[in-house]
Amino acid sequence: MSVERNYLWLITGASSGFGLALAREALSRSHTVIATSRSVSSPGMISLSSLGAITLALDVTSPEDVLSGIIAEAASLVPGGKITHVVNCAGYILEGAVEETTQEEVRKVFETNVLGSVNVARAVVGKLRETRGCCTKWAVSGLTEGLADELKPFGIRVCCVEPGYTRTGFLTEGGGHRVKAERVLERYDGLGFREGLNAYNGQQPGDVGRCAIAMVDVLTGTGMAEGKEIPVRLVLGSDCLDVVRNKCESTLRLVEDWEAVSRFADGQE
């Protein structure tokens, strides 16, 4: 039987979607939660505060010293102040083909979705070394793998949570997480991408509450994950499972088809 620990979660992007569901699940297990978002006045953040979470305004694109200060302040509000889990959920989707998006639009989404995770990781690594904790991000795959190797010697586990299509407000127009490129080119009309997002919204097979249960179990080694090591990747949802399996199989076929050319590049003895 697993022994219950005093878990302290720091969750970014906690005002809605995965961040909100994860914070609620952790709170339901009597864990301590520091929930952050750009604004603490949203309905989601207000509800978390009423459930006992510590809510703070935090922009993941802020300078490192600002982030470090806010995180230190947050930790000081908790007896002991030792963060055990950091979960980066802040992010949004930029709707548009590459040709339609501007450099500024791409820069902004990259700063939030990618550099935001790097910024938070840099700001909390020192605290995680103290607790041999866990850092996770549910979108940035390559970054997670590199960070996992880098932090493993310090006893810090890093996990990339890869959910399939899940029923949240992420695809809802006007919901704040789906930003359209200002430039729209007619040549991309009729390809089904824009229409597909609207058609799929509300029909996603994944349940965010069940995802949150799985995430807390896996990241704490309890419940369905008791006795197991935290994986570097956690795939959630049967649709995502099929995509990952098909991708692995197609990559193996590609390697086999071009093996002779790959080996040709080796130097001669």
* Whole-number pLDDT of residue 3: 42
5 or 110: whose pLDDT is higher? 110
Average pLDDT in the chain: 88
Residue among 84, 73, 86 at smallest CA distance from 7: 84
Q: How far apart are CA 148 and CA 255, in angstroms?
A: 26
Burial class (CB in 10 A: 0-12, 13-18, 19+), 194: middle
Handedness of CA 235, 240, 242, 245 (dihedral sign): negative
Residue among 91, 154, 83 at smallest CA distance from 119: 91
State the DSSP H helix or E strand holding residue 211, giving kind and residue range, or none if neither: helix 208-220
Whether 256 shows a pLDDT value over 50: the answer reads: yes
Whether 143 shows a pLDDT value over 70: the answer reads: yes
Confidence of residue 147 (pLDDT cuts 50, 70, 90): confident
List, as one string, the DSSP characters of 127-152. HHHHHT-EEEESS-HHHHHHHHHHHG
Whether 2 shows a pLDDT value over 50: the answer reads: no
CB 156 within 8 A of CB 133: yes
pLDDT digits (tens, 9 = 90+) for 73-87: 888 888 887 889 999
Burial class (CB in 10 A: 0-12, 13-18, 19+), 251: exposed
Query: Which span out of 47-61, 156-170, 177-191 was modeled with the highest average pLDDT?
Result: 47-61
| Mean pLDDT along residues 54-66 | 92
Whether 138 shows a pLDDT value over 60: the answer reads: no
Q: How far apart are CA 109 and CA 5, in angstroms?
A: 36
* Whole-number pLDDT of residue 136: 65
Residue among 197, 246, 222, 196 at smallest CA distance from 2: 222
| Mean pLDDT along residues 139-161 | 84
Whether 247 shows a pLDDT value over 50: the answer reads: yes
| Mean pLDDT along residues 74-101 | 87
Query: Which span out of 7-21, 111-125, 129-143 was modeled with the highest average pLDDT?
Result: 7-21
Fold assignment, 8-239: Rossmann fold (3.40.50)
pLDDT digits (tens, 9 = 90+) for 12-54: 999 999 999 999 999 999 999 999 999 999 999 999 999 999 9
Give bridge partners of residue 34 from the DSSP assignment: 10, 54
Exposure of 230 in the CB half-sphere (CA atoms within 13 A): 24
Q: How far apart are CA 266 and CA 269, in angstroms?
A: 9
- Can you give the pTM of this predicted structure? 0.87
pLDDT digits (tens, 9 = 90+) for 185-240: 888 887 777 777 778 888 888 999 999 999 999 999 999 999 999 999 999 999 99
Q: How far apart are CA 249 and CA 243, in angstroms?
A: 10
